[in-house]
């Protein structure tokens, strides 16, 4: 009888490129985040790892595995990459740099295998996180993207390396044994992003090791191994469920703003209520969200650091009111002392609403109520935010977001050329080759 990992591997191995168009849009979206990520303070810190100091060797050199670690970290720290709500995982930040880096390193990968790698990586991360209730364990300190990154990276690598289903199962098993879930809290010069990069690196290492003859323990998920070793319960059902439609990629949300996904519906609803209203007229804003994440976005610690400015609903709404052009700026400079923003933030209250709890984790809703100085009130409930599957972005909108993020880094002409290659890379070998060559030659995308 086949083990859970063997059945999981069979599903991943059987994926084809029927969802190539959707995959190409998420590829382009992730490339936009990647370019934007080169501008953040977190990514500048990554550059220190590439060179030795005081006689120390480089922590991350220029071999493909080290590139993967850096690139994953640069994309994920932006908080503008794609996300799957029910599993609370950000697959693109792992899958895309793994697939592109390996395609360039191997040199003989076709577009069909590349697309299968992307599809398998998205599918693996999403299914494994659903199996361990990723959206729930997040709030006890287990970062589901970090936990699932090795398995997702191994699944992405497997089609590019030509692994069959049995060897894919070995790679998944070896990658799972390298998984960790708790990176610790945020703070100054946080290692969170590079830890994720190293987790993705470990997954590719696992796939390469299996390609060279190593085996993994395919029985790991048949018993209580995860519970005993990580304190995480695992329901194998999501791992072995039959595929439906385009698979996981069809349920991935685009992020329209640089913000914690838990705050996106609040920003979206508030911007709707701002139509025809001057921010100066607003006396108060009440944001109700499911209890699971009210505390996460309910703080006003914007001056503390970049992550706090990304997670604070009060700060995000203040930007929406007075500096909307900054909503997708991943650098996130501290504007909390600007008079209008400083005055507005205390007017925003985030509350936990048990009535919204049933929506979570499939959706991340928010009920927003705006009170004006004249006594008038307006309210709206946003269950599907802009960019979510029910309100997904079309190609023109994904392109526009990509250009907002990439043009300031490499210029509009170069960005447009890269976009053209990316949008055909899942179906045309020549486009994939051009995309790989451009990325490897880019000074920005190290």
pLDDT tens track for 56-102:
778 888 899 999 999 999 999 999 999 999 999 999 999 999 999 99
Residue 39: closest CA among 328, 389, 415: 328
The architecture in CATH of the region 261-386 reads 2-Layer Sandwich (3.30)
DSSP annotation string for 221-250: TTTTHHHHHHS----SHHHHSPP-TTGGGG
DSSP conformation class of 58: P
Q: What is the pTM of this model?
A: 0.96
Which residues share a beta bridge with 89? 84
Cα→Cα distances 381→83, 369, 391, Å = 21, 9, 15
User: Quick one: pLDDT at residue 429?
Assistant: 97
User: Quick one: pLDDT at residue 305?
Assistant: 92
Q: Rounded to an integer, what distance in angstroms lies between the CA atom of residue 331 and that of residue 333? A: 6
Distance of CA 287 to the CA centre of its chain: 24
pLDDT lower than 70: segments of the chain: 51-55, 187
Contacts of 162 (CB under 8 A, 6+ apart): 113, 211
User: Quick one: pLDDT at residue 59?
Assistant: 84
Contacts of 224 (CB under 8 A, 6+ apart): none
Q: Rounded to an integer, what distance in angstroms lies between the CA atom of residue 366 and that of residue 322? A: 21
Contacts of 78 (CB under 8 A, 6+ apart): 33, 36, 37, 40, 258, 330
- CATH superfamily, domain 4-255+392-441, is 2-methylcitrate dehydratase PrpD (1.10.4100.10)
**What residue segments make up the domains of the chain, in order of their start?**
4-255+392-441, 261-386
Q: Rounded to an integer, what distance in angstroms lies between the CA atom of residue 352 and that of residue 5? A: 38
User: Quick one: pLDDT at residue 104?
Assistant: 96
Q: Rounded to an integer, what distance in angstroms lies between the CA atom of residue 386 and that of residue 393? A: 8
Q: Rounded to an integer, what distance in angstroms lies between the CA atom of residue 140 and that of residue 145? A: 14
Please compute, for residue 159, the number of CA atoms within 13 A of its CA located in the half-sphere on the CB side: 30
Q: Do domains 4-255+392-441 and 261-386 have the same CATH topology?
A: no
3-state secondary structure (DSSP) of residue 283: strand
pLDDT tens track for 183-208:
877 767 788 999 999 999 999 999 99
């Amino acid at each position: 009888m086949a083990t859970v990992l063997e059945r999981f591997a069979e599903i991943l191995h059987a994926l084809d490129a029927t969802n190539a168009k959707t995959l190409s849009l998420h590829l382009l979206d992730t490339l936009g985040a990647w370019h934007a990520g080169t501008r953040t303070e977190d990514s500048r810190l990554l550059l220190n790892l590439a060179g030795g100091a005081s006689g120390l060797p480089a922590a991350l050199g220029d071999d493909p595995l080290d590139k993967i670690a850096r690139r994953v970290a640069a994309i994920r720290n932006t908080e503008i990459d794609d996300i799957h709500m029910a599993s609370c995982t950000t697959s693109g930040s792992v899958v895309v740099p793994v697939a592109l880096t390996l395609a360039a390193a191997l040199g003989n990968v076709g577009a069909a295998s590349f697309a299968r790698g992307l599809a398998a990586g998205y599918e693996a991360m999403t299914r494994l996180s659903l199996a361990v209730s990723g959206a729930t364990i997040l709030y006890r300190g287990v970062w589901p993207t970090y936990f699932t990154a090795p398995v997702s990276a191994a699944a992405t690598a497997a089609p590019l390396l030509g692994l069959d289903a049995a060897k894919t199962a070995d790679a998944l098993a070896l990658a799972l044994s390298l998984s960790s879930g708790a990176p610790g809290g945020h703070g100054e010069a946080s290692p969170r992003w590079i830890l994720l990069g190293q987790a993705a690196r470990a997954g590719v290492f696992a796939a390469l090791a299996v390609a060279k003859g190593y085996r993994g323990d395919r029985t790991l998920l048949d018993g209580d191994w995860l519970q005993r070793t990580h304190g995480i319960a695992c329901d194998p059902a999501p791992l072995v469920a039959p595929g439906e439609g385009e698979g996981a990629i069809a349920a991935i949300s685009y992020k329209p703003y640089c913000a914690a996904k838990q705050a996106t519906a609040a920003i979206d609803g508030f911007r709707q209520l701002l139509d025809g209203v001057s921010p100066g007229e607003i006396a108060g804003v009440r944001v109700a969200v499911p209890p699971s994440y009210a505390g996460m976005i309910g703080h006003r610690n914007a001056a503390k650091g970049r992550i706090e400015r990304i997670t604070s609903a009060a700060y995000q709404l203040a930007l929406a009111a007075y500096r909307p052009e900054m909503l997708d700026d991943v650098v996130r400079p501290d504007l909390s002392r600007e008079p209008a923003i400083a005055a507005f933030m205390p007017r925003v209250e985030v509350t936990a609403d048990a009535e919204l709890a049933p929506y979570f984790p499939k959706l991340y809703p928010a009920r927003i109520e705006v009170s004006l100085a004249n006594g008038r009130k307006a309210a709206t409930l946003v269950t599907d935010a802009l960019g979510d599957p029910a309100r997904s972005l079309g190609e023109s909108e994904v392109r526009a977001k990509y250009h907002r993020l990439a043009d300031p880094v490499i210029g509009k002409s170069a960005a447009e050329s890269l976009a053209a290659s990316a949008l055909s890379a899942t179906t045309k070998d020549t486009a994939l080759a051009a995309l790989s060559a451009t990325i490897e030659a880019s000074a920005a995308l190290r």
